[in-house]
Structure 1
């Protein structure tokens, strides 16, 4: 049952300290690295985002089941006292006549709900494994394409079938991987999560991976984040031109510490931008973050937000200034798009946006969702090819507004700051924020927002 809230705000200032959860993007990558490392890598400051909690639980259960299978099948020689997660069968096991089908007779079903990152990462993880798995999700997940990644994994040697619609989940991963090649190509203008999924498993491939990226790379910072985290675990790579190579190699015994989430921080930048005055402190964030969304500091400088890195975090200060920047390229930070577009619309700033190509295949069609919701304040988001322009000529902030969230956590959080300007803001399905930022409404209360149930 959907849980709506009425969001109000006393005054137009926002001051306080907000401790953000760990980065969902970093955490999901780290959890896969931990699972592939045979226990050598440990994750610290695990995010409490629902997606990360779900992925951690699935991987933990796979580890337990893998251990149980080995106990029940003593004829299978693993060659180490460590418990191996689901991973590529190494050459020793293959040459000894080891057959995965002797362990698992029935495929298990893994339901990842609406967690897109988990779907992509687990497709690769189970794709090179020795378990037969059916990977499925929510109805929206069944509408989100997975074909590009499946094709790449099939080229590598994975046995994957579609259970319903060609190119979309659910999929069956047959658990009989045998590497056919180390060279594969993938388009650069699709979701970076496909690329990351392949890079994460590369180290477990007997012959390694040589990944050729075709055309311009979208969301490059996310790929750089993946490679940097692998490097922290002693996994080396080369990146020359459009080719990323990762040989088969061993993980180091280490810990990966998850930084607070810059995507979550973006909503506080939006709050500061819409406030008359604001002084906020976000502990744990650094100026040398692996997260591409840390570019929010540069974007929001256009709206008078100064970011000072000191005292072990970032201080946000609002200064009134004219806004001059007209074009925002969101290609490398698409998760910030809703936040920045809503801020521009609320301030009547008729900006132009590029790099929004991936927004239509997210939790919802975010372009359409933005167009519908912004129309409620008289603002149009006009699409011309791959360029989007705000028309604020008829902007009018109502006394009361209902915000539909479309099962999308970022729609709820991007529009929430409007409560600074709109006396009564009803947010549909408020619990949707649990996907990435469960404490969002609680944190808002710390700076003067009030979230209450609608009056019957």
Structure 2
């Protein structure tokens, strides 16, 4: 049995206030820092996103904190099994975290997680001195981290255009390495703001770094006693910007957001300005106002904000705006192949997302607005939330597996309902 969501909206006037959950990206980093600090760092405003709740539960458990519970067998006889389900960030961060712990751990996840590559990170950790084995397929989870870390070198190289989470995972553990870390980034760095977020959060815990050219260096050093406050989630905010963009009139207030965010996805304010959405920061949040404005921008580079790609592409498709997109390379190894998922779902309204090398162009020449549209989510929270704004132009949407949004924004459907959307839960065979 599966729970689907039917979504409707009887007008295109949007007005209200939304209280967003804490940033999943910030929270996951903060939780690893907390665990590595041996109690010196405390995390405030832990996100209620399922991924963050899961990670907090793992890290704050006896095995997560590096201590075996009294009734467990020795690690040689009974390795701990840590199942992170579909949480990709947790898989990457915990791979590095457990690589330098004493306990023997098997790190596994969902069927899709076992299809998502981890080899680049594992190879880098092995060069450093980690003892890691693949349990099933080479280069993919599940993996066995056997403890007994003994650092061989401080210098490693890693490709910059695959996933910034590999780089972040290494940076998070760097200060705990006996010889520190000198990380050489090969080629162009994808999602640079996420790496900058990591370094800024480490800096808040008194972990210093240098970044010269393509080399980031962090020496062995101690964490300070401090608190890390998790900001509201700009990725979650992006869906409200999309709703405002597709509305005839919109006045929204998103609480807690500031213009000085660590989160790269705060660039949504600049992107959506192209669609007539102004952002005014006051009263402890951001006010969104829809203004009539000709849409002229034709090229969107999503390299530094790939989690916004689905949102912006769907908005352009809904408006019939034949934009071109670059920087989508990492989308194919996310919760699903997001490029293929977008192509499949947009085809249901006659829109094509055409791939030519690393450039993607929307073809809206056969675009139409159906009376009803069924959205497959592919177990991907962002597919559900990126397509939800279409309720402003499509009379009825049905989303497969509505609870998928719990991964990053559990209150999404409830917040839509509070602002006047009709949200109906139905149970279907599946």
Residues of 2 paired with 1:379 and 1:315: CA distance? 32
Matched residue, 1:76 = none
Matched residue, 2:3 = 3
Gaps of 5+ in 1: 74-100
Q: Which one has a bigger Cα radius of gyration? A: 1
Question: Contact conserved, 2:59 with 2:65, CA < 8 A, in 1?
Answer: no
Matched residue, 1:40 = 40
Question: Contact conserved, 2:4 with 2:427, CA < 8 A, in 1?
Answer: no
Residues of 2 paired with 1:418 and 1:408: CA distance? 17
Question: Contact conserved, 2:235 with 2:308, CA < 8 A, in 1?
Answer: yes
Matched residue, 1:82 = none
Q: Residue 62 of structure 1: CA displacement? A: 3.5
Residues of 1 paired with 2:5 and 2:71: CA distance? 51
Structure 2 vs 1, CA of residues 120 and 64 (structure 1 numbering), >3 Å: closer, same or farther? Answer: closer
Aligned pairs (5 A) from 1:287-366: 287-366=259-338
Please give the secondary structure, in 1, of the residue aligned with 2:6. Answer: strand
Please give the secondary structure, in 1, of the residue aligned with 2:361. Answer: strand
**C-alpha offsets along residues 27-81 of structure 1, whole Å, 9 cap, x if unaligned?**
0000000000000000000000000000000011135774456x799xxxxxxxx
Task: Establish whether residue 164 from structure 1 lines up as the match of residue 126 from structure 2.
Answer: no
Matched residue, 1:88 = none
Structure 2 vs 1, CA of residues 65 and 46 (structure 1 numbering), >3 Å: closer, same or farther? Answer: closer
Question: Contact conserved, 2:193 with 2:264, CA < 8 A, in 1?
Answer: yes
Report the more deviating stretch, 40-49 or 104-113. Answer: 104-113
Structure 2 vs 1, CA of residues 217 and 446 (structure 1 numbering), >3 Å: closer, same or farther? Answer: same
Structure 2 vs 1, CA of residues 354 and 64 (structure 1 numbering), >3 Å: closer, same or farther? Answer: closer
Residues of 2 paired with 1:64 and 1:347: CA distance? 47
Task: Establish whether residue 154 from structure 1 lines up as the match of residue 114 from structure 2.
Answer: no
Task: Establish whether residue 31 from structure 1 lines up as the match of residue 3 from structure 2.
Answer: no
Which TM-score applies when normalising by structure 2? 0.97
Task: Establish whether residue 390 from structure 1 lines up as the match of residue 362 from structure 2.
Answer: yes
Q: Residue 440 of structure 1: CA displacement? A: 0.1
Question: Contact conserved, 2:66 with 2:101, CA < 8 A, in 1?
Answer: no
Q: Residue 2 of structure 1: CA displacement? A: 1.9
Aligned pairs (5 A) from 1:429-444: 429-444=401-416
Residues of 2 paired with 1:381 and 1:122: CA distance? 35
Residues of 2 paired with 1:259 and 1:266: CA distance? 15
Question: Contact conserved, 2:30 with 2:201, CA < 8 A, in 1?
Answer: yes
**C-alpha offsets along residues 87-108 of structure 1, whole Å, 9 cap, x if unaligned?**
xxxxxxxxxxxxxx97653211
Question: Contact conserved, 2:3 with 2:426, CA < 8 A, in 1?
Answer: no
Structure 2 vs 1, CA of residues 125 and 65 (structure 1 numbering), >3 Å: closer, same or farther? Answer: closer
Task: Establish whether residue 205 from structure 1 lines up as the match of residue 177 from structure 2.
Answer: yes
Report the more deviating stretch, 104-113 or 217-226. Answer: 104-113
Residues of 1 paired with 2:106 and 2:133: CA distance? 9
Matched residue, 2:254 = 282
Structure 2 vs 1, CA of residues 130 and 68 (structure 1 numbering), >3 Å: closer, same or farther? Answer: closer
Counterpart among 128, 132, 138 of residue 104 in structure 2: 132
Counterpart among 373, 385, 401 of residue 413 in structure 1: 385
Residues of 1 paired with 2:62 and 2:76: CA distance? 12
Aligned-residue CA RMSD (Å): 1.5
Please give the secondary structure, in 2, of the residue aligned with 1:4. Answer: strand
Q: Residue 13 of structure 1: CA displacement? A: 1.1
Which TM-score applies when normalising by structure 1? 0.92
Residues of 2 paired with 1:64 and 1:157: CA distance? 20
**C-alpha offsets along residues 357-387 of structure 1, whole Å, 9 cap, x if unaligned?**
0000000000000000000011000000000
Question: Contact conserved, 2:66 with 2:102, CA < 8 A, in 1?
Answer: no
Please give the secondary structure, in 2, of the residue aligned with 1:11. Answer: coil
Residues of 2 paired with 1:6 and 1:205: CA distance? 50
Counterpart among 174, 189, 195 of residue 217 in structure 1: 189
Matched residue, 2:228 = 256
Matched residue, 2:59 = 59
Q: Residue 11 of structure 1: CA displacement? A: 0.7
**C-alpha offsets along residues 105-124 of structure 1, whole Å, 9 cap, x if unaligned?**
32111000000000000000
Residues of 2 paired with 1:2 and 1:431: CA distance? 9
Residues of 1 paired with 2:103 and 2:427: CA distance? 51
Residues of 2 paired with 1:9 and 1:172: CA distance? 49
Residues of 2 paired with 1:30 and 1:291: CA distance? 13
Counterpart among 416, 420, 427 of residue 448 in structure 1: 420
Structure 2 vs 1, CA of residues 411 and 243 (structure 1 numbering), >3 Å: closer, same or farther? Answer: same
Gaps of 5+ in 2: none
Please give the secondary structure, in 1, of the residue aligned with 2:347. Answer: helix
Residues of 2 paired with 1:64 and 1:229: CA distance? 21
Residues of 1 paired with 2:173 and 2:386: CA distance? 33
Task: Establish whether residue 402 from structure 1 lines up as the match of residue 374 from structure 2.
Answer: yes
